[in-house]
Structure 1
Amino acid sequence: MKKTLLFEAAGTIEAPVERVERLMLAVRPGPVGPDNAWLMSQTGGAIEGGPERFTLRRAGHAMTVEVVGQTFAMQGGWWYRGEYTVEPHPAGTLLTHRVFNVASRGRWGVPLANRFFIGFAKNSRDGFAAGLQLIGKELGCSTRLL
């Protein structure tokens, strides 16, 4: 799969990497919720498949979810792939979010379809910062956007 990086953001979570992994990397077949595919828990849906590659079905749409090593990835539509990687850090845990263009055809059309990504970086960074705060709230710890 060809991947072109479109966005990257990182932040720290003042919690041991094992706690963050239990929250963010726990995926199994069944309903999405606070203890299953936590990153997607606000969108709902159901997960099938596994153990590393799953299909998330919600509102008539399907998205691929992969959990490999310390990475949670979600891929949907014709171009989007988002990856969250959890790694040890002196402050506790480093969380990195990357968005890739993975279109197998019509790669040139991705910026056009997304209005040349005007505001994409700011909106993505703001979304990541909000998600980082939710993780901190869930784990009862501080976070910091890098």
Structure 2
Amino acid sequence: MKPLISFTGVIEKPYEEVVQYLATMPTGRITASHLPLLLTGASGSEGVLHIKGGPQLFTVYTGSESEAIRVAYMDIDAANGHFTVFGGWWYRNDYELKPHAKGCEVRYSIGNAASPLSSWLVPLLQDYRSLKRENKTGRMMRAFDDWVAVIAVKLECKAYRLG
């Protein structure tokens, strides 16, 4: 998968501690702000969510129990420091963690995960086109910066985007 957007940051806590925090996925009814991972690109991802599954694979729903709509799947691979959020039929958010001299490096990327048969449709989507214009709007960069800031507060450390 070729990333459309990619950011790298540093969280000044030991790698193992950051992985443990991200791998501790809440289940049940929560707000999106209580998720340790960004849910960018998922329609309906701003309000109350319902998380089911675990400990490695989770499904995220929005709406009432009787009218729940799947928003995303999350794959938690804590052993390898890799976390993935799949949403809709085409987008994929990847988090790749590795040790860094100051703690933990996080590489966050968004890419097109559509099948070869349907990938030609993706450039026609508004969400995709807005991601391609990202360098002009900075929307995803701000979302990543906000996420890193939340991690810094939760883990009581410094965290920042590189570059």
> Does the alignment pair 1:117 with 2:121?
no
> Does the alignment pair 1:83 with 2:94?
yes
> Does the alignment pair 1:95 with 2:106?
yes
Amino acid at match of 1:53: L
User: Which digits, 9 at most, give the CA deviation of each residue in 1:81-115, with x for residues without a partner?
Assistant: 10112221001111110111011132122122133
Secondary structure in structure 1 of the residue aligned to 2:114: coil
Cα offset, 1:80, TM superposition? 0.8
Residue matched to 1:107:
119
User: Which digits, 9 at most, give the CA deviation of each residue in 1:32-89, with x for residues without a partner?
Assistant: 469x742269754222223322211123321111001312211111211101122210
The correspondence for 1:53, drawn from 51, 54, 57, is 57
The correspondence for 2:155, drawn from 125, 139, 145, is 139
Contact 2:28 2:51 in 1 (8 A): yes
TM-score by length of 2: 0.75
Residue matched to 1:65:
74
Q: Tell me the distance in 2 between the aligned counterparts of 1:128 and 1:29.
A: 23
Residues 117 and 29 of structure 1: CA distance in aligned 2, closer, same or farther (over 3 Å): closer
Residues 116 and 27 of structure 1: CA distance in aligned 2, closer, same or farther (over 3 Å): closer
- Give me the identity figure in percent: 27
Q: Tell me the distance in 1 between the aligned counterparts of 2:99 and 2:91.
A: 27
Contact 1:25 1:71 in 2 (8 A): no
Residues 86 and 118 of structure 1: CA distance in aligned 2, closer, same or farther (over 3 Å): closer
Greater helix fraction, Structure 1 or Structure 2: 2
Aligned alpha-carbon RMSD (Å):
2.5
Contact 1:32 1:38 in 2 (8 A): no
Contact 2:148 2:159 in 1 (8 A): yes
Structure 1 outlier segments of 4+, above 2 Å: 27-34, 36-44, 114-122
Q: How many residues are paired up? A: 143
Contact 2:57 2:74 in 1 (8 A): yes
Contact 2:145 2:161 in 1 (8 A): yes
Structure 2: runs of 5 or more not aligned: 40-45
Amino acid at match of 1:65: M
TM-score by length of 1: 0.82
